[in-house]
Structure 1
Amino acid sequence: MSTGTAELEERRARLEAARDALTGLDEVLAGACGNDLGALMELLDEVAARASAGRVVVALEAVRRGEAAGSATHAWIRQHAPSLRQSGAAALARLVVDVAAGDTPTHRRDPDPDTPLGVVWAAVRTGEIEAHTGCAVLRETTRLAPLLQPAALPTATTGLVALAAEHGPAVMRRLRPRLLAEHGRDGTLEDLHTHLAAAARLSTPRIESGDLTEYQLWMTPEQAATLEAAIGPLSAPAPNEQTGEPDLRPAGQRRVEALTTVCATATTLHTGTHDTDRGPDTTLHLTIPLTDLTSGTTRDPGELLADLTDQAVPSATAPLPSSSTARRAGTVLATTADGTLLPPETVRRLGCDAGLLVHLLGARGEPLTLTRILRLYTRGQRRHLLLR
């Protein structure tokens, strides 16, 4: 018996012993004390992760030997790994077939570690992520590949793997705006927001007689940030000033009442029944480096900064050209939309309207200036413009 065969038989015996040890485990758990249960759970989790990785390499070996191939791989896995019939068999089959596709008639070749498949395969074969999670990461990298700079794709894939391993594949889409802002091709984030605008919509009301009216709302990041800036302060809990009793309204009720207040204010503005000049209806805080704010423009950074602040800025404050790793986006602050990324073009457009506070940062992240909240046009003047 060869050395390799003997080692395989020894490992098979250990696996059978582990299987026997897990059988009837619930019957002896009463003897656990202290932190035994936590330590036992950690051990079981590690064993399960290693077993998952073991199934992957065994399935790949079956494909490479021809015991399973192409569409038959799924059936082979379902036959020999019945627990995966519930879910996971298709993802495992897809992954091992993709990995085996890189083989040549004379050599077995693992995927290039600098490709998305190579990054995902390294994580799956070690048990860091499950095969179905790896397939989800590959689907996301396929969507991102045309949008990112080619050199950034392995880095982005590594970040997605780490995020999926920590929080599951469902949260990967949250990282997409950050990846596009930091590693996307020029104008990618702006293009994404433009395409999202066509998909944003507010449904017509679904009215039930004597019951609540239902709406469905889909918004772009810019629209959502503006909405949260408007209703956020109004939806905060408001204790009774006289009695000190807490505000017992649930968050959903406070938010819809805040939205109603904003809509009522807008209605009085258009009808001319609201005479108090309170300035802008909403205030949106953004931080953005000056290099990012001026990217895509031909104007001197000092001139653009002066337009936003009404302050003369020496040309010496003009930053160095932004690098490919620049964030190239503004970050929303001080609302429930914190962290939302907006493209520089959107920030520049918002900078022409009322109620925007831009915290400009220099090339090294140092604060340069804080724009004012009151713009040149008062509410009364804006009302007059509406009549023209």
Structure 2
Amino acid sequence: MHQPSTSPVATLRAALEGAREALGTEGLGEALARMSGPELAEVMALTDEVRSRAGASQVRVAAEAAHRGEFSAARRGVGSLHAWVREHAPSLRQSGAGQVAALAQDVACSVPGGLWSTHGPDAGAYADPTRAEGVVWARVVTGEVGPALALTALREVARMKELLVPEAVPTVATAILDHGVQWGAAEAKKIRTSLLAAHGLAGELDDQDRRLRSGAYLSSPQVADGDVTEYRMAMTPEQAATLEAAIGPLSRPAPNDATGERDLRPAGQRRVEALAAVCARAVRADAADGTPGGAATTVHVAMGLDDLRAAGSEAPTGSGQVMVSRAQQTILAPATMRRLACDADVIPVVLGSAGEVLDLGRAVRLFTRPQRRALWHRDRGCSFPGCDMPPGWAEAHHLVHWADGGTSDLDNAALLCQRHHTLVHDRRLVATVHPPDEHGRSVTWDLTRGSYDRVLSSRLEQMRRRRRSVDRLDTGPPDPWAGQPPEHVMLQIAEEFLADHDADAWDLTA
């Protein structure tokens, strides 16, 4: 008896229904339980291939539906391919429906008439292997490239097309797909510059670099009292490479093997602290002689000296307000002020009860350049246990804080990196300077929280015996510029002087 031939539609439907049944929850669970490790890996690879080919089939089905106008015909002329895909492929509602629809719509619109897949290279761009669309589509139909990567590659080629040597377009499309298959659609965008360098028109990469310079920026700080200060920044590739080279080694997690402490700082905090350390080192490198203005930081702060002294107590009072910079009016906490006073040019603006300026101190309390060099040789880097930060990245810390009356002497100094400088102030830790031990260390830290407060009075007494008195902060001799009139008054005086001079000159010539 003659058996009727099975139609292609029936064959395809049977295959898909068989795959659906084989991958059903109950049957798959029983089969997985009996599999060995290598068999699990084999099934994983097979299901991945089935999934990718099923995804490619969904794009092709959607393209055919779009070419026929199925999504609008079923709704009497109203509808969209996106809605059609969401209706008939519910799993894509979670993610991907829009990308499938967008790619399928582009394929359908590229065909002048009939079924695009049966009309050869003349049927449309997606059937032409010499065009980016043809390169992309050939890998979409095999399931190797998904809709997200396909759309990314097409957008990137379109963006670069006028900048490329024409015959290089298929090569560029292939390179984008190869990179995206390996690392993902988002990463595929990042090779644009290297592709322009290899396949761009003569001088195009230089032109792009010049265009990028005008787009790079660093915003002014957005200051909110009691909150972080926000910056926005965009950099050229060269600037970004320089920045990452500078902060990369400093922003890695740094667990302390000596103390057993883990580095629990989030990545963002590590990166910003690395950037701050790089900036501080750059400024410190320009500090040629240790005079005011040559310290790691120069900060003009309106804060009473009594408040600065009291900042180390259990109930700190007052605050510092930044002046004379783009961060003007930023409020600094008392503890932050005390830490800055160790190794920064803090110019205390002493205010009276009515807010009037009583005195403008000079920061001559800083360690001199020869002292810093001596600390580099003595401590050989950050002195905190387990830290290997080199001396060029370290700050000079007053073991008895300057704000408490500590002197700027080598026996009251130790090098600390920025991270441990902050930690020492936060935990109120103290160290002792002594002759080098068997390991060559001259500084020993007491890591017991609050150790600084327990020895402060005795340390101050030792200093008093060596010096006549430390009743006041070492702000140096009176500043000759302390009584200088405001800037607008100085400008007015200068203008009047020039006007008088010009008038006298006119009279003489007359």
Length-normalised TM-score, structure 2: 0.47
Tell me how far apart the structure 1 counterparts of residues 252 and 12 of structure 2 sit (CA, whole Å).
61
Matched residue, 2:141: 125
Write the letter of the residue equivalent to 1:16: E
- The code of the aligned residue for 2:136 comes to V
Q: Look up the SS of the partner of 2:99 in the other structure.
A: helix
Distance 1:185 1:208 in 2: 48
- Residue deviations 1:157-184 (CA, integer Å, cap 9, x gap): 0111112222211001211111011111
Structure 1 pair 274–221 and aligned structure 2 pair: CA distance change class (3 A) = farther
Match of 1:74 in 2: 82
| Whole-angstrom distance in 2 between the partners of 1:51 and 1:87 | 15
SS in 2 for 1:174: helix
- 1:150/1:31 Cα in 2 relative to 1: closer, same or farther (>3 Å)? same
| CA contact 1:129–1:165 (8 Å) conserved in 2 | yes
Question: Is the contact made by 1:238 and 1:246 (CA closer than 8 Å) also made in structure 2?
Answer: no
User: Residue 19 of structure 2 corresponds to which residue in structure 1?
Assistant: 18
Q: Identify the residue that residue 302 of structure 2 maps to in structure 1.
A: none
Are 2:164 and 1:148 equivalent residues in the alignment? yes
CA positional deviation for 1:270: 5.7
Q: Which consecutive residues of structure 1, in runs of 5 or more, have no partner in the other structure?
A: 276-388
Match of 1:59 in 2: 62
Shift of 1:231: 4.4
1:200-254 superposed Cα distances (whole Å, 9 cap, x missing partner): 22233345656654434322111123334444566678999xx967896567666
Distance 1:90 1:244, change over 3 A: closer
Matched pairs, number: 273
| Residue 163, structure 1, aligned to residue 179, structure 2 | yes
- One-letter code of the match for 1:36? E
Moved more, 151-160 or 58-67: 58-67
Given the superposition, is the C-alpha separation of residues 179 and 39 from structure 1 closer, same or farther in structure 2, using an over 3 Å criterion?
same
Q: Which amino acid aligns with 1:92?
A: V
Q: Are 1:33 and 2:36 an aligned pair? A: yes
C-alpha contact 2:152 2:189 (8 A) present in aligned 1: no
The change in CA–CA distance for 1:19 and 1:3 in structure 2 (over 3 A counts) is same
1:188 alignment partner in structure 2: 204
- Per the TM alignment, residue 51 of structure 1 is displaced from its structure 2 partner at its CA by 0.9
Q: d(CA) in 1 for partners of 2:38 and 2:141?
A: 30
What displacement does 1:73 show?
Answer: 2.7
Question: Aligned equivalents of 2:44 and 2:209: distance in 1?
Answer: 44
1:115 and 1:153 in contact (8 A); partners too: yes
Q: Measured at CA, do residues 256 and 6 of structure 1 come closer, stay the same or move farther in structure 2, by a change above 3 Å?
A: closer
CA distance in structure 2 between the partners assigned to 1:111 and 1:35 by the alignment: 39
Whether contact under 8 Å (2:67, 2:109) holds in the other structure is no
Distance in 2 between residues matched to 1:274 and 1:149, nearest whole Å: 57
Is 1:225 matched up with 2:233? no
CA RMSD of aligned residues (A): 3.5
Given the superposition, is the C-alpha separation of residues 2 and 189 from structure 1 closer, same or farther in structure 2, using an over 3 Å criterion? farther
Tell me the CA shift for residue 42 of structure 1.
1.2
Contact 1:147 1:188 in 2 (8 A): yes
In the alignment, the residues of structure 2 paired with residue 253 and residue 94 of structure 1 have an alpha-carbon distance, to the nearest angstrom, of: 40
Q: Which has the higher contact order (CA 8 A, sep 6+)?
A: 1
Could you tell which deviates more after superposition, 130-139 or 261-270? Answer: 261-270
- Report deviation, 1:121: 0.9
Asked if 1:49 corresponds to 2:52, the answer is yes
For 1:238 and 1:34, locate their aligned partners in 2 and report how far apart those are by CA, in whole Å: 38
Mapped contact 1:193–1:220 kept (Cα < 8 A) = yes
Query: What is the TM-score with the length of structure 1 in the denominator?
Result: 0.60
Residue 33 to residue 155, structure 1, CA distance change in 2 (3 Å): same
Residue identity opposite 2:110 in structure 1: G
- 1:147–1:273 CA distance, 2 compared to 1 (3 A): farther
Q: 1:99–1:111: 8 Å Cα contact kept in structure 2? A: no
Kept in 2, the 8 Å contact 1:52–1:130? The answer is yes
Partner Cα separation in structure 1 for residue 269 and residue 171 of structure 2: 43
Q: Deviations along 1:262-321, whole A, 9 cap, x unmatched?
A: 43344356665379xxxxxxxxxxxxxxxxxxxxxxxxxxxxxxxxxxxxxxxxxxxxxx
Matches of 1:163 and 1:2 in 2, distance apart?
50
Contact in 2 for aligned 1:54/1:125 (Cα 8 Å):
yes
Q: Distance in 1 between matches of 2:22 and 2:278?
A: 63
CA contact (8 A) 2:149 2:180 kept: yes
Moved more, 182-191 or 2-11: 2-11
- 1:133-160 deviations in Å (ceiling 9; x for gaps): 2112211111111221111111010111
* Higher mean displacement: 37-46 or 103-112: 103-112
Distance in 2 separating the partners of 1:123 and 1:179: 20
For 2:29, the aligned partner's letter is E
After superposition, where does 1:196-215 map in structure 2 within 5 Å? 196-207=212-223, 209=225, 212-215=228-231
Corresponding letter in the other structure for 1:86: Q
Larger Rg: 2
Aligned equivalents of 1:139, 1:104: Cα separation in 2? 22
Quickly say closer, same or farther: Cα 1:34–1:96, change in 2 above 3 A. Answer: closer
Structure 2, unmatched stretches of 5+, are: 292-510
Q: Which residue of 2 aligns with 1:138?
A: 154
Letter in 2 for 1:127: G
Residues 338-380 of structure 1 show CA distances to partners (whole Å, capped at 9, x for unaligned) of: xxxxxxxxxxxxxxxxxxxxxxxxxxxxxxxxxxxxxxxxxxx
Structure 1 stretch displaced more, 105-114 or 117-126: 105-114
Question: Structure 1's 98 and 227: CA in aligned 2 closer, same or farther, altered over 3 A?
Answer: closer
Q: Would the alpha carbon gap of residues 18 and 219 (structure 1) be closer, same or farther in structure 2, given more than 3 Å must change?
A: same
The match for 1:9 is: 10
Change (3 A) 1:117 1:244: same
Letter in 1 for 2:52: A
Q: Verify: 1:172 aligned to 2:173, yes or no.
A: no
Structure 2 distance, partners of 1:3, 1:65, is 30
Letter in 2 for 1:164: G
Distance 2:251 2:10 in 1: 66
Distance 1:273 1:147, change over 3 A: farther
